[in-house]
């Protein structure tokens, strides 16, 4: 073999080795994996089987949302999809009633296997509608209280005196006799002025009931009174002198079907911050949760003043 032929053979062998190395290198490259976390439409595109499985299961099993939503027409939105161990994907969904709903959506997630079957489901929250602030006016507190610029000294003060109308240092307060029932329903508007049926129920439905008290506050001074109506603004005492704080009538209210049996006509929740100019009056309902069948001894008002109304 001549030197020229040997050179050509060596070059051919080197080229073959280079090609083989290149092939090995390309074969050794890892496969491109799907992104482990996707949002919205990209989640649907990246994990179509998993997302489809979650949506189909949600539509077919609305009973898990509870009695208020199980028969409602709902709309779902894919929030995200997250690749978990193996071929499992966690699909997060939001859901709301299809029509007439304004507020925050409910949320849940489902763990879906490669075939689209649901392995686990967890509801994180339920849809929460805007609360009925427009009921009471246009300004921040007028959504909670009806404000009337009249003097009430001549309205409540009869010749014999009204035992439920008591003067404090700055406020005259009237608290009517407490009334109790298992549920409270009423009609009111949301922040867009749309009328809804609203309801409240006791947290301990097995043992407690709701008690509402109509409260009227009057600023008979010439100055401004600022007060906050919240859990610490009053106490309702039962016949055993056990004291109960008012419940948040805004956060505890939820939209519901009309229930005439539990309807409280003219119900206006009293809750929040109020600025009362001289001569202003505000009226609304305070709600308490007490053991069923309780009787009442007194209501103690403590917001910006100190007044006790006795029911004995």
Indicate the pLDDT class of residue 131, thresholds 50, 70 and 90: low
* Cβ-based neighbours of 309, under 8 Å, separated by 6 or more: 163, 164, 166, 173, 174, 175, 298, 299, 301
Distance CA 278, CA 223 (A): 5
Residue 37 has pLDDT above 80, yes or no: no
Residue 24 lies in a domain: no
Query: Would you state the pLDDT for residue 42?
Result: 81
Of the residues 66, 101, 128, the one at which a domain ends: 128
Q: Is residue 12 part of a domain?
A: no
By the 10 Å C-beta count (0-12 exposed, 13-18 middle, 19+ buried), 231 is classed as exposed
pLDDT reported for residue 12: 52
Q: Where are the alpha helices (DSSP H) in 122-258?
A: 153-156
Predicted pLDDT at 35:
46
Same domain flag for 62 and 186:
no
How confident is the model at residue 190, as a pLDDT? 66
Domain of residue 234: give its range. Answer: 130-310
Average pLDDT over residues 252-264: 81
Does 268 map to a domain? yes
Task: Provide the domain count of the chain.
Answer: 2
Q: Among 222-226, 228-232, 254-258, 285-289, which is the least confidently predicted range?
A: 254-258
pLDDT of 38? 78
pTM for the structure as a whole = 0.51
42-76 pLDDT, tens digit per residue, is 889 989 999 999 999 999 999 888 888 888 999 99
Same domain, 182 and 81: no
Same structural domain, 178 and 247: yes
Q: Which of 26-35, 126-135, 286-295 has the lowest mean pLDDT?
A: 26-35
Asked whether residue 139 falls in the same domain as residue 269, the answer is yes
Tell me, what's the pLDDT at 25? 40
Taking 70 as the threshold, does the pLDDT of residue 28 lie above it?
A: no
124 and 134 share a domain? no
pLDDT at 140: 42
Same domain, 166 and 107: no
Q: Do 107 and 243 sit in the same domain of this protein?
A: no
Instruction: CATH number of the domain at 112, please.
Output: 3.10.450
Instruction: Compute CA 172 distance to the chain's CA centroid, rounded to the nearest angstrom.
Output: 34
Co-location of 60 and 170 in the same domain: no
The structure tokens 């489809």 sit at 52
Based on the domain organization, do 204 and 180 belong to the same domain? yes
- Residues 233 and 137 grouped into a single domain: yes
The dihedrals phi and psi of 177, each to the nearest 5 degrees, come to -60, 135
Which secondary structure element, helix H or strand E, spans residue 25, and what is its range? helix 3-28
Residue 32 inside a domain? The answer is no
Q: Indicate if 94 and 233 belong to the same structural domain.
A: no
Q: For the ranges 3-12, 79-88, 226-235, 249-258, which has the lowest average pLDDT?
A: 3-12
Which of 109, 128, 147 is the endpoint of a domain? Answer: 128
**Domain end: 128, 158, 175, which one?**
128
Confidence of residue 150 (pLDDT cuts 50, 70, 90): very low
Task: Share the mean pLDDT of the chain.
Answer: 79
Is the pLDDT at 157 greater than 50? The verdict is no
**Is residue 13 in some structural domain?**
no
Q: Which helix (H) or strand (E) holds 285?
A: strand 280-291
Q: Which residues pair with 39 in a beta bridge?
A: 80
Residue 271 resides in a domain? yes
pLDDT-derived band of residue 126, with 50, 70 and 90 as boundaries?
A: confident
For residue 3, tell me if it sits in a domain.
no
Looking at the domain assignment, is residue 141 inside a domain?
Answer: yes
Does residue 212 sit in the same domain as residue 244? yes
């Amino acid at each position: 073999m001549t030197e020229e032929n040997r050179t050509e053979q060596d070059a051919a062998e080197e080229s073959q080795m280079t090609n083989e190395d290149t092939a090995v290198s390309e074969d050794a490259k890892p496969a491109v994996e799907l992104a482990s976390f996707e949002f919205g439409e990209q989640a649907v595109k990246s994990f179509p089987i998993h997302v489809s499985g979650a949506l189909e299961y949600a539509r077919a099993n609305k009973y898990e949302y509870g009695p208020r939503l199980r028969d409602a027409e709902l709309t779902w939105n894919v929030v995200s999809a997250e690749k978990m161990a193996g071929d499992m994907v966690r699909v997060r969904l939001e859901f709301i009633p299809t029509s007439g709903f304004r507020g925050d959506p409910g949320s849940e997630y489902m763990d879906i296997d490669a075939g689209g079957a649901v392995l686990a489901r967890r509801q994180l929250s339920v849809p929460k509608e805007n609360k009925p602030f427009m009921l009471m006016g246009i300004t921040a507190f007028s959504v909670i209280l009806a404000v009337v610029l009249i003097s009430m000294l001549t309205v409540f003060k009869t010749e014999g005196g009204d035992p439920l109308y008591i003067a404090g240092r700055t406020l005259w307060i009237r608290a009517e006799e407490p009334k109790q029932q298992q549920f409270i329903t009423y009609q009111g508007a949301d922040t867009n002025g749309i009328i809804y049926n609203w309801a409240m129920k006791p947290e301990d439905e097995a043992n407690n009931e709701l008690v509402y008290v109509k409260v009227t506050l009057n600023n008979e001074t010439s100055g401004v009174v600022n007060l906050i109506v919240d859990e610490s603004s009053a106490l309702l005492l039962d016949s055993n002198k056990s004291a109960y704080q008012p419940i948040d009538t805004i956060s505890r209210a939820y939209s519901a079907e009309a229930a005439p049996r539990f309807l409280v006509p003219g119900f206006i929740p009293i809750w929040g911050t109020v600025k009362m100019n001289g001569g202003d009056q505000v009226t609304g309902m305070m709600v308490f949760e007490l053991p069923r069948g309780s009787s009442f001894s007194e209501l103690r008002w403590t917001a910006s003043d100190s007044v006790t109304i006795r029911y004995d």
